Chains A and B, each alone.
Chain A
Amino acid sequence: MLRLVDIQKSFRLGTLDVEVLCGVNLEVAAGDLLSIMGPSGSGKSTLMNIIGLLGRPTAGSYFLDGRDVSSMKDRELSAFRNMHIGFVFQSFNLLDHLTALENVAVPLVYRGLGRGEIRRRARAMLEKVGMEDRLGHKPDQLSGGQKQRVAIARALVGEPAVVLADEPTGALDSDTAEEVMQLLIRLNREERNTIVIITHDPLIARQCTRQTLIRDGLLLGGLRQAEAAE
């Protein structure tokens, strides 16, 4: 469903080319709960941006939902991102002037759905993450854990092929972090959502069903065959 083949990414720093990803291969199948673990500077953010269609690789191919996305133009890429990717950020990134319900609705608004359907789906999704009694609250009226639940609802509301969670518990205290983690695990198990968690924390990584490790621009354990061969 999601396949990265020999993805390379380098940045120009002055006269120097810095290679951040040097041939990453990754396969994610529907229903995976996969962790990408690595220390800071290992290239995991860069990888996440490429998976999330926010950045383009310097070389390599990326197939998402059977299509090669590397040649897509902005308009198509944005639509594709809207349909297939859900983001959960470390710092939640909710829009401050919108209510919980409206925040969750944003991806559907960009999809051009009707108002009634948007509201219905956003409300249903907030119920699923246990936030049904906070629909009209603004982010500054919510606790950190609640914010992340809303953010998770926003990531899932469009039924994306994959949810990318970048340090989803990084800004939370340990109890709340555990709750959020349990929510992600439950959504994966019960709703068959495909989730990729980027983290530097082995305790988080351990709770995922598939684990990969990124170090010095290389990803270990990205291919399902390799896993099967073990």
Chain B
Amino acid sequence: MRSVRTDLASTLREAVRSLLGARLRTLLGLIGIMIGIASVITMISIGEIAKSQSRKDFEALGTDIVTIKPPDYLIGRPGRATIGLEDALALAEVLPSVSEAAPRIETQGSFRYAGKRVGGGSVQGVSASFADVNKLQMAEGRFVSNLDRGRYFAVVGADVADAMRRRGAGTLVGQTMEVGERLYTVIGALESAPETYALPFSVDANRSIFVPITTIRRTEPEAQIELIVARAAPGVHYADATRDVRAYFHERARGLELEVVSAEQLIEQMESQLGLMTLLLAAVGCVSLLVGGIGVMNIMLISVAERRREIGVRRALGANRGDIQRQFLIEALILTLSGGIAGVIVGTGAAYGIAHIYAWEFFISPASIVVGVGVSTAVGIFFGFQPAYQASRLDPIVALQGE
């Protein structure tokens, strides 16, 4: 009996040749797998990149951050208890465990300068500590101070400032801008702040303007404080700070429901959220992979049907069932594996693009490559098996009658 089976190199070469023989079909099958693998790779990479980026953003902001906000499901519900402005402003003074507290009332508006639109976005009513807590840097002028009570002063974000300069404003401080229906005097402009999409609360400073919180209270009496960003006092454990904050508001506002979350908890929450998201997205990717795999199976079944005569000839020339099965399985594998490699490349590229758009630090996730190659191999074996088995079971006489 033959001891040495057909050597792998020539089997591979032949498989490549047959695949090239049906170029369009091969290409289509390859694209199917490529899309599947690419989406899985993109999802996994972006998940990992976002995770590492959000941790980095948090660390830049400081891990002593504590956020206080009503639960999302309550926002906008009429008749609910809300955070009192005076309570929010007094928070840091009353509680020794909290060093700073920056409440925010956010509304939307469009910004005009010299009669021309210079952007639109959030109008954030804040206190003096907001810049500090969120590490916003001044490019020009000063930030909102606690002495600006009720005055129509505005600090513009970097993008808004740029737009105003393009409209001919030399020095921004002292200029007058329209925010909605009202006129504001610009008292300062911010440096461009890094985007922090990866954080669960986004200040989005560049496209916003900041006004005294007391002013926005007057112009938008319906708007409520939906966020307080606070810092725990040095050396205070975040658990103590959050406990104190809860007690503080519990005492002052009956029935007020709040989420008081420390940075550590936020990071954990966010990571588990991102993990879940990644899982979901990967599941979507898997569905497209499944579709791709079915495509490969379809292509291989067609290939087997079209090449019945070849199968018959090979059987007549001495190929046994195992040889035929191996041949078709290897073809399916080459198909899915090259689709997989292309998918890894495209997926990594897509992840790079997305990371670039959000200005996240890009890295190649090794896990995604292992998953991509591994999964495409598995898909090839799984979906290639049935057609290969079918090919191997063909009666050589029937197969030789061909077509």
Partner of B2 from A54, A87, A111 at Cβ < 8 Å: A111
Partner of A154 from B2, B14, B317, B400 at Cβ < 8 Å: B317
Chain B's closest residue to A52 (CB) is B316
Residue among A49, A54, A83, A113 having the largest count of chain B Cβ atoms under 10 Å: A54
Q: Does B2 lie within 8 Å of A112, measured CB to CB?
A: yes
B219 lies within 8 A of chain A by Cβ: no
Partner of A110 from B310, B318, B321 at Cβ < 8 Å: B318
Q: Does A78 lie within 8 Å of B318, measured CB to CB?
A: yes
A74 lies within 8 A of chain B by Cβ: yes
Interface residues of B in 9-35 (CB under 8 A from A): 10, 14, 17-18, 20-21
Partner of B1 from A49, A79, A81, A113 at Cβ < 8 Å: A79
A141 lies within 8 A of chain B by Cβ: no
The tally of residues in A whose CB lies under 8 Å from a CB in B reads: 31
Main secondary structure of the interface of A (DSSP, over half): helix
A168 to B322, CA, bound (A): 30
Q: Does B318 lie within 8 Å of A111, measured CB to CB?
A: yes
Q: Report, nearest first, the 4 A-B pairs whose CB atoms are least far apart.
A: A82-B318, A78-B320, A112-B4, A110-B318
Chain B's closest residue to A98 (CB) is B17
Chain B's closest residue to A111 (CB) is B2
A93 to B402, CA, bound (A): 10
Partner of A79 from B4, B7, B320, B397 at Cβ < 8 Å: B320
A82 to chain B, nearest CB (A): 2
- The 21 sampled A-B contact pairs (Cβ below 8 Å) are A54-B396, A54-B400, A75-B320, A78-B321, A79-B1, A79-B2, A79-B320, A81-B317, A82-B319, A85-B316, A89-B400, A93-B313, A93-B316, A95-B314, A96-B21, A106-B317, A110-B2, A112-B4, A115-B7, A115-B10, A158-B318
| Known A52-B316, A78-B318, A154-B317: A109·B10 in contact at CB below 8 Å | yes
Chain B's closest residue to A75 (CB) is B320
Residues of B within 8 A of A97 (CB): 17-18, 20-21
Q: Does A112 lie within 8 Å of B317, measured CB to CB?
A: no
Partner of B314 from A96, A106, A158 at Cβ < 8 Å: A106
B10 to chain A, nearest CB (A): 6
Q: Does B6 lie within 8 Å of A112, measured CB to CB?
A: yes
Residues of A within 8 A of B312 (CB): 93
Partner of A95 from B2, B3, B310 at Cβ < 8 Å: B310
Residues of A within 8 A of B320 (CB): 74-75, 77-79
Residues of A within 8 A of B1 (CB): 76, 79
Q: Does A110 lie within 8 Å of B323, measured CB to CB?
A: yes
Residues of B within 8 A of A55 (CB): 397
Residues of B within 8 A of A95 (CB): 310, 313-314
Chain A's closest residue to B7 (CB) is A115
B77 lies within 8 A of chain A by Cβ: no
Chain A's closest residue to B324 (CB) is A78
Residue among B6, B21, B320, B323 having the largest count of chain A Cβ atoms under 10 Å: B320
Interface residues of B in 176-195 (CB under 8 A from A): none
A107 lies within 8 A of chain B by Cβ: yes
